[in-house]
Structure formats: C-alpha cells, structure tokens
A and B are shown apart, each in its own frame.
Chain A
Amino acid sequence: MSRYFRAKVTDNLPLNSKTNLLFIEPLEQIINPVPGQFYMIETGNSYDPLLKRPFSYFRKTSEGIQFLYAIKGKGTSLMRHFKGGDAINIIGPLGTCYPKPEKDSIPLIVAGGIGIASVFPLIEKLSEKAYVLYGAKNKDEILIPNELKWIVDKLIITTDDGSFGEKGTVIDVLNDFLASHFSLLTSYLIYACGPKPLLKAISEIAVDKGIKGYVSLEENMACGFGACLGCAVKTIYGYKRVCKEGPVFPIEEIVW
C-alpha cells in the first residue's frame, strides 16, 4: 500500500457558489485516514498549476473518500470541473491527527468556514459527548447544516449576519459558551480549525482560561510529506512542518 495512489472521481457536487463536495474512489488499496489528516490532490494534467493542493478529508466510507473544498484559486477552480470518471493522482493520508480526548474531558469542537471539513470526521467520532460550535459569514456559507444537526445534539451554529443560527462570530459564541459553562472550564478540550485569525483568537482564549486543545493549521506547501520545508510554522520549539509535525498542533505550541 502506497500513500501515492490513483483514484477515480465519482462525483463533484456543488454545495454553494464556492464550495464543492468531491467523491473519489481509490483504484488501489489505500491506508485508512484518521480525523485531522489530509491528502495532496492533483488539480489537473498540466504544469500549471504544478503542485498538488492539500485538503483535509471530510469523510471516509467503504466506497472511498470525500473532500469538502472551497473554490479559491487556480487549482480549486480547475477541481470544480472534475467529473465522474476522471482519474487523478493523490498522496495521503498525511500529517498528524486530532488526538483522542481523555476519558473525563469534554471535547469542544470549534470550526470556522471551510474548517468544518477537517473536524467533521472528529465530530462523527465524538458525536455523543462533543459540543460543536460552527460559524460562517452567512446562511449560504453554512455547509451541511442538516447533517450536522442529525449527528450531534450539542451544536451551536452562528453566522456573522444572523441569517442562520445565532448572530455573531464563532468567537462570540465561544466566549458565551465558556462563560455559561464556567464550572467545568478546565475539563474542556478544544479542537479547532478555521482561518488563522480565528485560530489565533481561540488560542488566546484557551491559554488565558487554561483550557487545553488542538488547532489544525494550513500553510502553502509543495510536497505534503516533509521534504520541501515550505510549510514551516513558528512554534515555541522552533519551526515545525505543518505537513509532518502538523497539521494538528497543541494549541499552546503555536507562536502566532
């Protein structure tokens, strides 16, 4: 089993104007991923774009792997045109995973925007005991709300403009949540993924309140498997690679 494999696209479903759900079926035996890990996906056959793009996996089923991806640049714009039957090269699973919570800790999963893709497999795993806070700009950008509601009871969805769920940012909701669950504060274990400013704000709250947790980071990377050293992130132990020592890091390790 190699982590470099060929796969067939089985579906590429638009969820809104800038997000798709990609379904792929590996054409060979692959290694099973664990929540938080990612894959490097080829966006086309030409040299432009040249590099594969990193994506957290969204779901692994017996048929294959699903990726929830935001259409942002040249690579993802090409991926939008993937159609059933296309064959693509993929590398993965790569990187570290979200460590399992200890028995007496309460998982608090926080996602901003497309960050929901990375924590989704974790939500599925911890659905019984986890609290999930999920925010996006507006209703249109809240992805898979029904699926989330179905999986997890303790779910708070928030939008910046109040067009869906609560009004406010996910940070507002997190602050309110922690204020109203004050007595259990240090039992919470945060798992967060989203834009960098959001993760930075979460880490400040966590450090301030003495809550432990993990963040999943994103960085430009060329290879995904530790060779190019392009995805370095500053930690209290010096530079670490997002692709190898990450993407999941203990919250207090990152120097923002």
Chain B
Amino acid sequence: MDLTVNIGQLKLKNPVMTASGTFGYGEEYSEFVDLNMLGAIVVKGISLKPMDGNPSPRICETPCGMLNAIGLQNIGLKRFLKEKLPYLRKFDTKVVVNILGNTIYEYVKLSKTLDEAGVDGIELNVSCPNVKKGGIIFGTDKKTLTRLISKVRQSVKKAILITKLSPNVSNIQGFSKVAEDAGSDAVSLINTITGMAIDVETRKPRLANITGGLSGPAIKPIALRMVWEASKVVKIPVIGIGGIMNAEDAIEFMLAGATAIEVGTANFVNPGVTVEIINGLEAYLRKKDIYDVKKLIGGMYRA
C-alpha cells in the first residue's frame, strides 16, 4: 500500500496534514495522536513578534460549524524556534510552519529564518480574516500577492512553499494561478469564510471581533468546489482544507483534485481524528483494490 504523496520536492508518508491554528504546536495533541503517523504537522501561524490575539468571546458555535476570531495569537518566531521546533523535530513527520506578517519584509524574514532552521515547509498565511492589518491584504490583491510570493521564493532555499488561499475572493482560480506563477510549490485552500452571528437576547455580536472565520462541516461543499476549480487551472499540488471530519471527506477532496488534505476543526471535536482518517483512507483503498493513494487525486468520474 503506497500512501505517499509529493508536495513539490517534499515527500509525505501520507496525505493527512493538520490545519494551522487547530493543532497548536503539535505538543497539545501528543497524548491523543502518535505524531509520527501524520503526513505533516502544520503549526499555529507564527509572526515575527508575539501577538496577543483578540478579546473574548473569540469563538462561537453555529450550525455544523464554528466562528472564530482568535486574532492570530502566537508566541512569535524567537520562542517558536527555541521552545517548539526542537520538540517537533523529535518526530518522524514533516513540519510545516504557517507564517504571517504585516509587510513583505516580515514574511521574507520569517521564511528565511525558518528555512535556515530546517523546517520542511512554509505555508504563507495570506488569508486570515480576523486581523486588521496584514494577512488578507496580500491574499485578496493579485499584484501584492505576486510580489509577496516572489520575494519569499527568493529567500527560501530548501523548504517547500505553500500559499494558503482565502475563499473570500470572487475568483479562486485567478489567485491559484497567481500563486503558481509567482513560484509557490503548492496552494492550500480554503481558509475560513468570513461570517458573523448575533445574540438576539442581548443584541450583541457573538464574537467580540463581530466577524470571524467560519469553519467545520458547514463549509465543506464550498471548499470542495474551490479545490476542484483550483486544481483544474494549476499544475502544482492543491492541498484541500475545509470541514474534513473523516476519511470519506478526505477522499472526496482528493477525488476533487487535492494531492493532500489538512484536517482542522475536527481536531477539536476528536483529538485523535487524524489517525482515524489515515486508517480509514487505507481501508478504503484496500476495499477498492487501489494500492496507490495518488490514484485518487482528481479521480472524480464525470456524471
């Protein structure tokens, strides 16, 4: 049984990755999951300087999903390198670091330092809907995105470069193409979809930030459609994200064109879900007499 997939020159032992912001720095899950089994761990987004995040309430549940406005709270590059990376390195899995900044300079500095520190991949977060500056500005303007990716590309020698795309754009294909042309090794999509909820009793927004990012099974059909669209126009691998709760969901994304997938909100519900998805994927392949998971990629039959 061959579960390996390739993202650029990086070979993953299986296509199951974790979505940034839902898997902490790996440590938080080590009692529930054998981290060695994962295709890759994508850690919580890192910025140059530590960030405090948004006031509470930061999350609220909505039908079949949740809204979050964490505000990119993180410990910053320095502490990540010192306290978190050595721990992650102990495991036989690939480490991808999600990064975010306010300026192109910050992205370049982050990716250069992380590349030199030996991380396997860098995921550019250009799609967080929850902070005023940075992030999303790059992900919703094609010119800025091109400049950002090209600059980062020049500074990264070994690590693969993944651009995480925002669904909050009118044309996902255009942005996928921009990411490919500017030198990304892969695109990952989708980040959360901007949403909001109001408590009618108090007339207050349910999030202190008013708006937040919607995730969970509620967004899966949208994510699947966008992955399908993106994979039709780019040659680089597409990493599917959005409401994946089990192996069947993961397979759907691969059939739609994803080379790998990231599991997000499901980790909160079932901290052992990633390994269950890997096992379920293997069982599916065995049942269908397919011995290479790569055969699933884009394998949807047209009705």
Contacts and interface: CB of A to CB of B under 8 A. Distances in A.
Nearest to B73: A229
Given A225-B271, A226-B28, A230-B68, A50 B61 contact: yes
B65 A233 contact: no
A91 B31 CA distance: 12
B63 interface: yes
Contact count band on B: 35 or more
A239 B52 contact: yes
Given A4-B270, A232-B73, 20 more contacts: A2-B31, A47-B216, A47-B245, A50-B66, A50-B216, A50-B269, A51-B268, A52-B269, A219-B56, A220-B57, A221-B59, A225-B271, A227-B22, A227-B268, A228-B59, A228-B70, A229-B73, A230-B59, A231-B56, A239-B52
A129 interface: no
Interface of B: 21-24, 28-29, 31-32, 44, 52-53, 55-61, 63-66, 68, 70, 73, 216-218, 245, 265, 267-272
B265 A222 contact: yes
A185 interface: no
Top 6 nearest A-B pairs (CB, nearest first) are: A230-B59, A223-B268, A222-B268, A227-B24, A47-B64, A227-B28
Nearest to B32: A4
Interface string A215-256: 000011111011111111110001100000000000000000
Contacts, number: 92
A220 B269 contact: no
Interface string A64-100: 0000000000000000000000000101000000000
Contacts of A229: 21, 44, 53, 58, 70, 73
B28 A239 contact: no
Given A50-B65, A223-B268, A225-B28, A234 B55 contact: yes
9 contacts: A3-B31, A47-B217, A50-B217, A225-B28, A228-B21, A229-B58, A232-B53, A234-B55, A239-B52
A230 B22 contact: no
